[in-house]
Amino acid sequence: MTIDLAVVPVAGRGTRLLPLTKSQPKEMLPVGRKPVVQYVVEELAACGMKRILFVTGPGKTAIENHFDIDAELITHLRENGKEEYLAQLSFERADVEYFYVRQRRQLGLGHAVLCARRFVNGNSFVVALGDSILGLNERSRVVEVMIERFTATAAAAVINFEEVPREEIGDYGVALPKQENAEVFELLDIVEKPDPARAPSNLAVAGRYVFSPVIFDALAETPPGKGGEIQLTDAIRRLIRDGRKVIGVRMPPGEKRYDIGHFESYFRAVVEFAFADPQYGEKLRRYFGLNPHATVGR
Ligand code: UTP
């Protein structure tokens, strides 16, 4: 089975990043040299995605503009002897088609995914959060591995998980794995933003999913949950309770997810990507009195 469609929800309000996100999408915030969502799209393209459906909303047109081909800008660079910058626009020519659907009311991530139902049209598909970057220097292949697992196990869903410190676990969907410490495990349950003291594990959903279209039936039946929003996690829980197979994969060692959802994790991403910059990273670390050759990370 070939899966070449990814749904990228980018319609959220980003209230935790106010005032930064008052008039600009959090998915367009700069991390290193690119806006967040460009990393997401490049990762998806590298994992074989040919169609990307953005679930978008009010105030998000900058995302559409970013992925358009800007012929005027290209001509300007050519005519003004700035050809060296043309390479920075090569992402515009990625072998990917872009589509957009509006989430007309911000009723939560689960609702955003449900908005993709007609477009997905009964196929299996990837969901990649538009505010989460995977991988620092290399493009992450996690989605490719997840698709392989999805096909091999005939699961209803495959979800990417990352181990996070206990004190942060309450920000995420959290797995109750059948096999502890396994790279790939079956899910017995999943809980949205649990009280850290009662969290079923330290495994937090890390922004990438592969779904069979049965997720849409589950979403359609899912009432609003935490925060009054229709939670994707609750729909996945419903799949598990209906006896469907849901598989978790752990992010490989050395890879991690950069969550651009709140300031602490956003700042971490900004600093790590700046320190990893091929041109300025070393200088920057020296400037801050750090070992210029040290690797950065948790
Ligand atoms: P979050 O769960 O961080 O929600 O979104 P949010 O609403 O953007 O942020 P806060 O809580 O107000 O700070 C995870 C991803 O899901 C999208 C977001 O755009 C983000 O990429 N999303 C979230 C939607 O598309 N629609 C929604 O209703 C909620």
| Mean pLDDT value of segment 119-147 | 93
Indicate if the pLDDT at residue 298 is higher than 50: no
| Mean pLDDT value of segment 246-265 | 94
Q: pLDDT digit string (tens) for 190-233? A: 999 999 999 999 999 999 999 999 999 999 999 999 999 999 99
In sequence order, what DSSP letters do the residues of 87-107 get, joined into one string? GGGGGGG-S-EEEEEE-SS--
Question: In a mutational test of the pocket of ligand 1, which residue from 27, 109, 205 has the highest number of ligand atoms less than 8 Å from its CB?
Answer: 109
Indicate if the pLDDT at residue 173 is higher than 90: yes
> How much is the pLDDT for 93?
83
For residue 202, the tally of other CB atoms under 10 A from its CB is 16
Indicate if the pLDDT at residue 137 is higher than 70: no
What's the rounded Cα separation, in Å, for the pair 264 and 285? 20
Two tokens, residue 243: 């006896």
Share of the chain above pLDDT 90, in %: 85
Two tokens, residue 35: 């806006």
How does strand 246-250 pair with strand 173-177?
unpaired
The overall average pLDDT reported for the chain is 94
Indicate if the pLDDT at residue 281 is higher than 90: yes
| Mean pLDDT value of segment 245-268 | 94
Spell out the residues 6+ positions from residue 168 whose beta carbon is closer than 8 angstroms to its own.
204
135 vs 148: which has the higher pLDDT: 148
How does strand 203-211 pair with strand 157-163?
antiparallel
For the Cβ of 226 lying below 6 angstroms from any atom of ligand 1, the answer is: no
Question: In a mutational test of the pocket of ligand 1, which residue from 8, 13, 20, 260 has the highest number of ligand atoms less than 8 Å from its CB?
Answer: 13
Q: What is the whole-number distance in angstroms between the Cα of residue 112 and the centre of ligand 1?
A: 9
What's the rounded Cα separation, in Å, for the pair 273 and 21? 20
| Mean pLDDT value of segment 154-161 | 97
Q: Could you tell me which residues are beta bridge partners of residue 5?
A: 51
Element (H, E) at 174: strand 173-177
The burial of 231, by beta-carbon neighbours within 10 Å (0-12 exposed, 13-18 middle, 19 or more buried), is given as: buried
Q: What is the whole-number distance in angstroms between the Cα of residue 16 and the centre of ligand 1?
A: 10
> How much is the pLDDT for 91?
86
> How much is the pLDDT for 297?
54
Q: How would residue 176 be classed by pLDDT, with cut points 50, 70 and 90?
A: very high
> How much is the pLDDT for 239?
98
For the Cβ of 233 lying below 6 angstroms from any atom of ligand 1, the answer is: no
3-state secondary structure of 30: strand
**Which residue owns the Cα nearest ligand 1 atom 5?**
12
Identity at 10, one-letter amino acid code? V
Indicate if the pLDDT at residue 274 is higher than 90: yes
Question: In a mutational test of the pocket of ligand 1, which residue from 40, 131, 171 has the highest number of ligand atoms less than 8 Å from its CB?
Answer: 131
| Mean pLDDT value of segment 117-138 | 93
